[in-house]
Chains A and B, each alone.
Chain A
Amino acid sequence: DVKVTQSSRYLVKRTGEKVFLECVQDMDHENMFWYRQDPGLGLRLIYFSYDVKMKEKGDIPEGYSVSREKKERFSLILESASTNQTSMYLCASSPGWAKGPQHFGDGTRLSIL
């Protein structure tokens, strides 16, 4: 069965810290995505990657960066965490076509104090 695994379900960090969120997929998918989910706003795309070492900005990339050194792993980095980055973060992957159906992890609820 397809599996997207996010390293932490809950994370609490302090303002100014550098935060790493990890995501691994076991389906050999080309495309990987990072979203944040906030009530009433749906899912907003932060960054996506359609190949190893490739990355594209989504709709809200400010304050974030990403790394994709291996096909199965896509990391989201908060360079200097701020309270407005408190949110649910979802990782997803999809094969071939980047606008095709996506498989999601269970999310990381991140709180920045």
Chain B
Amino acid sequence: TQLLEQSPQFLSIQEGENLTVYCNSSSVFSSLQWYRQEPGEGPVLLVTVVTGGEVKKLKRLTFQFGDARKDSSLHITAAQPGDTGLYLCAGARTDKLIFGTGTRLQVFP
């Protein structure tokens, strides 16, 4: 059973467009992490959100943790080709992380 569903699964956009990726669950998480994975490499941590309703910004990326700590979103403003990659959310439960299904983003110049 997949506890964390991400949508959309694939996203293909032009440079300069905005986009939002969603990470949803029926379970509560103590914190949530977002990773980006580029081809041929392992995932790299982007951010951790801990408090319900928390918003964190990382340059053009805005991360939000839902009030009930069951969901999260990643918004990218003015996407660039360098944003291309697989975006993974991961929720912290008991003694491990639960990873989402992933969103593959392609940004064309």
Contacts and interface: CB of A to CB of B under 8 A. Distances in A.
Contacts of B44: 104
Interface in A58-113: 58, 90, 92, 98-107
B63 interface: no
A40 B102 contact: yes
Contact of A98 (B31, B41, B42, B95): B95
Contact of B88 (A42, A48, A58): A42
A107 B39 CA distance: 10
Contacts, number: 56
A2 B102 CA distance: 24
Interface in B8-61: 9, 30-31, 33, 40-45, 48
A26 to B, nearest CB: 15
B105 to A, nearest CB: 15
Interface residues of A, number: 23
B99 A99 contact: no
A41 B48 CA distance: 21
Interface of A: 4, 35, 40-45, 48, 56, 58, 90, 92, 98-107
A4, A43, A92: residue with the most chain B Cβ atoms closer than 10 Å: A43
B interface, how many residues as a size bin?
20 to 34
Contact of A41 (B2, B41, B92): B2
A64 B6 CA distance: 28
A101 B9 contact: no
B101 A98 contact: no
A92 to B, nearest CB: 7
A41 to B, nearest CB: 6
B9 A58 contact: no
A107 to B, nearest CB: 6
Given A42-B99, A104-B42, A107-B42, A99 B2 contact: no
A40 B96 contact: no
A5 B102 CA distance: 23
